Structures are given as C-alpha cells and as structure tokens.
Structure 1
Amino acid sequence: MLNGLWWLPSLIVFGSAAVAVILAVRLMRAKQRQRGIDPVSTLRAIEQSAGAELVRADDLLREAEDEAEFARAQFGDSAAAELQRAVTRGRAHLREAFELHQQLHDAVPDSESQRRRWSERIVELCGLITEEVSGQTSNLDRMRALERSAPEQLAELEIAVAAAEAQVPDAEATLDRLSETYAPGTYAGVEGAVTTASRSLAAARTSLDASRARVASNEPATADIERASGHLLKARHALESVDRTASGLDSASAELATSVAQTRRAVSEATARRDQAPLPESADEISRALDVVTATIALVTDRRQLPDPLARLDELRDAVSRLDAALASARSMEQRIENAREALRGALFSARSHLDVAGGFIEDNRGRVGADARTRLAEAQRQLALAEAADDPVEALDTARRASRLAQDADALARYDAGPRTAPLKR
C-alpha cells in the first residue's frame, strides 16, 4: 500500500509551496489595500497607460516620417538626416513595444508580475521614442523660425559685421603700440589676430550676400546665416584677444613700476638692518641678498631693450623673496642671540656654583683625590674663563654649560676617590 502512495510526499511539498505563494500574494494585496491601493486597478491603469503611450508613439513616428520628408524638401538631405535616424531607432523601439503588447493580449495566461513588467517596458520604450524624435523636430522648428526671421537676422548681422569691421583699425593700432612698447614674445600669440579677423569678416560678408540672395529667391537661407554668424564670432574673438593681451601687458607694466618702487624702499630698510646686525654672518647674508636685488632692479628697469613686464615681475619677486629670507634668517639669529644672552647668566652662575663645590671638596680631601678629578676641575675652570671672555652669547652659553658638566664630573670623581675617611691617602 505504501508503494501505491509514492507520490504523497511530493504532493505535500508542492502543495505547501503553492499555499505559501498564494498566502504571500494575498498578504501583499492586503497591505496594498491598507494603503488605499487596489492592486488590480493599479495594474489595469499601467496597462491602459501603456496602450495609450503606444498609440501616441506610433502617431508621433508617422508624423515624424512626414516631417523628415518636408525637411528634406525644405532644407536638404543633411538637415533631415538626424530626424530620419531618430525615426529608424524609434521604429525598432516600437516593434519591441508592439510585441510586448501582443503578449499582453494573446491567449496565453500571464502572471501579474509579467503583465506589470511588460507594461512598464512599453511605457519606457515609448518615452525613448518621444524623447529622440521630439529633440530632432525641435531643431527643425528652430530652423524654420530662423527662416521666418531671416530678414531680421540679416539686418542684425549686417550691423554686427560693420561694427566688427570698424574695430579692425583700432586693433591694428594696438598691435603697432605693442610692437613699440614690449618685447616681441609678449604679444606673439595675437600677432596674426588682425589678419584672422579681417579674413573672418570677409567670409561673413560672403555668407551674408549668399543669404540675401536666397531670401530674395525664397530659398532656405538658414545655413548661410549660421555660417555668417560663425565667421563673425571668430572675428570678434580675434579682436578681443588683441585688447585682452594689451590690457594684460599694460597692467603688468604698471605693477612692475609699483613693485620697483616698493623694492627700493625695502632695500633701504634692509641696508639699515644689515648695518645694525649683531652677527657678521647675518650681515653677510643680507649683503648677498641686497646685491641680488640691486642687480635685479637695474635689470628690470633697463630701457635699452623692450621689456617683458611679466617676466621682469617674476625676476624681481624672486630677488625680493631671497632678501626676505635673508632678513628672516637674521631675525632668527638675533632672537637666538637674545635668548642665549638671557640664558647665559644662569649658566655662568650654575658653572661657578659647581666649581665652588667641586673645588672645595678637593681642597678638603687633597690627600685622597686622584688626578682625574683634578684634571676635570682644571678643565672646568678653563672653560668657565673662556665663557666669561666670549663675545658671542651663543658660544659663551655652550662653553658655560660645558664648564658646569666638567665641574660636576670632577665633583663625582673626587667623592669616589675620597671614599670613607678610613681609606688610605693617594700617593
């Protein structure tokens, strides 16, 4: 009998799984209802939206195909090419969307998740179609707007080109002034700007003439108008580059003059500081920096050759930076000397105190103290004398500290030698 019920365990397993799925779906729907969402009506709304978007995308592509033909006739093949490519891509998207829509309405039963996923994909594909095609039709609308306003555009361009042409002599005069005032390398980048501007303006005139002829014969003039605008923009950039270069060089020249005056004042102050420097090393370092700055001032103010004000500014600032570093080093050394001078009094007092202690102990125990302690004491006395005679506070401080250490060593050795009072005398 058990062999006849071999299928029972499988039935239990699959039945349990089916029950779990049903319960999960019911639970999800119950939660949606608690939030006020009807899952059935939501899915139905998505499917309805997918159908409406599909119809709209199909109509849009049909209209776009007609629009591409109109654009080809009005503006030529190149103007319609991008729209035609967008239509081709849109047709591929539309085929996929129709296939999904067919699956939604065929006789094969579909799960709720499948229907939702397919409907959402249809909406996505239709959105891509709308985005691509609308972008290209907007470009064509812009071109048609330009065609309608071509006479006004031509009039504005005529005025703008004439204004740019009037600026050419001023730019030529500016270049002449630069060539007489500054080194050739400073304006080399704009030396051909006037030629570029003149050629671009001539090309703009040619495009304007072609545009006028097309407008007069009711032909599309957008391309020629845009070419004229492009040539005008290039000419303006060339003319502006001349003014911009001249302004930059003039500003640099003015800044150089100001910096030279400031540097000369700094040289006077640094010279006074050098003369008052307490250390020869500081004075020498400041003198070397002053020599560099003085030579640099002579170089950047040399009128025998046309200047590069930017390069001269850099040279002057480098020299001033070196002078600043020398002054900072001198200030640091002076501060170190002042600190050493303040510490020297204490160091000398400490050395004398240790010498007094060590000398007194050795005097009291002459028979027991050996040569090493006496040698240390003598050297400590010599170092103290050097410290008291030194002119450099830093050197004196180091020497006084050395004398103090030697005196302490002498005291320690003497006490070791002396030992207890019963120790034999040193011979």
Structure 2
Amino acid sequence: MPVTDTDGGILDWLIPAAVVFGSAALLVLVAVWAVKRARRSPRARAAAEQVRARAGVQLVRLDDAVDELDLEVALSGALYGGTAPASLRRARMTAQHVRDESFDEFRGLSRPGLHPAELRRGAVRIERRTDEALGRIAAAREEHAAWVAANISAVDQVAAARGHLERLRAEMGDPAALIADLSARFDEAEWADAARAARGARDAAASAEDILSQAAAHAGDPTRSVLTELAEAERALRRAEADARILEETHRLVTQAAQALPGEFDAARSALRHAQTVRSHLPPAAAERLGGELRALSADLDGLEPRAARRPTKTIDEIARVRDRLDMALGDAHTAQQRLRGARTALPGTLAAARAAVAQAEGAIAHSGGGADARARLLSAQRELAAARQAQDPVDALDAARRAMREAEDAKALADYSRLAR
C-alpha cells in the first residue's frame, strides 16, 4: 500500500517525538537508579550510622537521667514522706517507658541489611522522643526543687540523709569479712569483682559522709540551699548500695555454685549416658558422628573437674555450655519427652550461669557507663532472664536462659571495650 503525504507527515512527527520521549524516559530511569544507588551507598550508610550514634548518645543521657530521677524520687519519699509533688514520679514513669521502647528500637536499627533511609528515620525518631522525655524530666526536677526550697528545712534534710547513711552502713556490715571468706576458698577470678565492689562501697559511703558534713555546715544559712549537696550525697549512697549489692550477689552466686557443682556434674554425665542410648538407635553414619561429639564433650567435662572447687561459677558456666553443645549434637534425634527431661536437668545450672553473666554485665556497665548498644543488650538479657524464671515449660525456660547468657556476655564485652577505649 503506497504511503501518502499525510502518512509521511505523521511519521515525520512521530519518530522524533518517540526519540525525545524515549530518551526522557531513559533519563528518568537512570536518575531513579542513581538516586536509589546513592541512598544505599557506603556514604549514605555512614551518614545514617552517625545519626544512629547521635541517637545512642541521647538514649544514654536519658538512661542516666532516669537513674537520677529514681534517686530523687527515693530521696523525696525518704525525706519528705511522700508529701512532695507527684510530678517527679509521673516524669519517671513516662521516661522509663520511653527509654525501654527506644532501647528496643535502637537495638533493631543494628540488624543487617537495613536500608540507610530507614536507619536514619528510626534514629531521628529515637532522638526526638528522648529529647522530649529529657525536657519533661528537667521541668519536673525544677518544680520539685522549688517545692523543697519552700517547704523543707535544710537541717531536717541533712538529718534524714544521715539516717540513710547509717542504715546503709548497718546493712553493709563488714565487706572485708565476705572478701576474706571468698579469697580463702576460691581463685581470685571468682571474687575480683566483689573486691572492687567492696572498695567502691566503702569509698562511696565515706564520700557521702564528707558531703553531708559540708551540707550540715551550710544548713544553718537561710540564704543557701543544701539540695545540691544532698543530691550528691544521695548519688554516693546509691553507688555504695549498688556496690554492696554486687558484693553480696557475687558472694551468694559463688557459694551457691560451689554447693551445686556435684549435682551439675552428675546431671551432665547422666545426660551423656542418655545420649549414648539415643546413639544406639541411630543409623551408622549418624551414630558415628554423634559418638565423636560425645567423646569430646565427655573429655571436656572431665577436664573441668580438677579445678572446679576453686572456680565454681566458671565451671557451672562451662557445664551449661557442654549441655548446650550436647543438645545441638542430638538435634532431631531427641524425642519431645527426651528434650523435656534434658531441659529440666540442664535448667538449674544454665539459670545460675545466666544470673552470673547478667550480674557481671550490670557491674561492668555500672562502673564503665557503657554505650547505648551495651545497655540495650543488658536490658534484653534482663528480660530474657525474667522470662526464663517465669516460663512454665522447661524447654522454653532453657532457651530463654541461654539467650540471656549470650546477651549479657555481649553487653559486658561492649562495656569493657568502652572502658578500654576511654
């Protein structure tokens, strides 16, 4: 069919238009691709990580502020009999909720493969929430300080704080006696943290006494407020209480571990014998693999025994790891009933190891400060430990206790790294 002049005119118009629009579409596609690539580039990732780090700093500030608020609420209740404004308690509850939610979200921002834009949005959201919570805390503290200045005698405040110090010293008793008991029976690694805590408790109590003496000297001056000195003394008392708890908890954990050792060894060996029974019902190749792992686990268990009496918490921790490896080696060969029976026998030792790991992480963060990542993992470890204690199913409890151990170990490692870096 011949091409008419009209058809030729249409083609003359259509072809250049198609080229123009096609080129424009191609340019748009290239631009979109370039933008997406830029948003996923190492530079975009680094920039988003900086925003996350800034949010982490704010989150640590909020966590510290919540601790300070706990201190002031306790001080208010002890000194003023609950008659102070309720704004402090309300601000504390709100700030605790924001802190816990933000730590959960902050932990999620570290998952692999997260898009930099999503990382940035999450970090900005955390930073905004923490800033708002810090603002509410500051306003509540100002209101509380004004109320105290108008309603409470400085002399009465100092006297009440001295009563707190005396009660603390009575509760602490003689830390040196606990350290002497531990050092006579166990390796230094078992009680080194307790010894540091004992020194910290004594030093903090002495510091609180010095601060209260200064406050007493100023209490008679109606133009001066002793609230700053009282708050500083309360911080020192809190440090002393925290260190005293570390000391008592360490002493309890070590002595309980020493008492539990024979039963933990017996339970682990019983589990190995049961595993040999399971092995006898497996196909030859699977039985051979399991047999090799059982021999290695038995050798590891035997190697723990010579020094177990001097290193009870470390040994309990290692036995818990042996039981974990045994469960992995058995895998699907375990029936549901066998898995339940194994979990029941492994749970006490694993819970003890998890408690010790969480206590060590708490001590490390208390003394080094630790960043947001360390604190987020500690919070996760504490939740997993609580879940393990409350779980009705032994298998679920054992899984939660093992997760608590891993999270606590990560938290302590991060806190130790932060301390060394400083």
Q: Would you say same fold, with TM above 0.5? A: no
- Scaled to the shorter chain, the TM-score interval is 0.3 to 0.5
- Higher relative contact order structure (alpha carbons within 8 Å, sequence separation ≥ 6): 2
The normalised TM-score by structure 2 is 0.39
Kindly name which structure, 1 or 2, has the bigger radius of gyration based on alpha carbons: 1
TM-score by structure 1 length? 0.39
